[in-house]
Amino acid sequence: MPRDNHSMMQLYLDGPKNSFFTFFNVVDHDKKKINNSKLLSNFKHLKNKNLYQIKYAQKIATENVFKKRNIPFRSFNVLRRSEQALGELFTFFMLETILLGEMTKVNPFDQPSVELIKVETNRILKN
């Protein structure tokens, strides 16, 4: 979530309201804490916090602002960082795409504009 947060949140919060968002939180058990001795005085609220606590606070804050702005979103908590968990998520989203395509009369298996990118990627890689 923190990566590209500033520019993306500016777009999402003040841009066109035509999107639906998905947030992911990977429960991280890394307990490394911020080095308190190197904190500037205006960052004292980070004292004794670990990186997971900081990222989680940012996620909750983002969801709170989205709720206040009536921007639709959903949120997933990934309980373990594993191949199985990732496979389960991918399977869920593939099935979701198929069902949404069926409901909206869009064929998720035949997207000619996406195919253009695949063809161009192959052309670049062959050179």
The structural domains of the chain, ordered by start, are 5-126 (3.40.50.10490)
Q: Pull the structure tokens for residue 63.
A: 């969801």
pLDDT at 2: 56
How many other CB atoms are there within 10 angstroms of residue 124's CB atom? Answer: 8
pTM above 0.85, yes or no: no
Q: What is the mean pLDDT of each run of 10 residues along the chain (127 residues)?
A: 73 90 85 77 82 88 95 93 92 95 91 90 94
pLDDT at 7: 82
Distance CA 71, CA 14 (A): 11
Question: Quick one: which of 10, 20, 22, 85 has its CA closest to 59?
Answer: 22
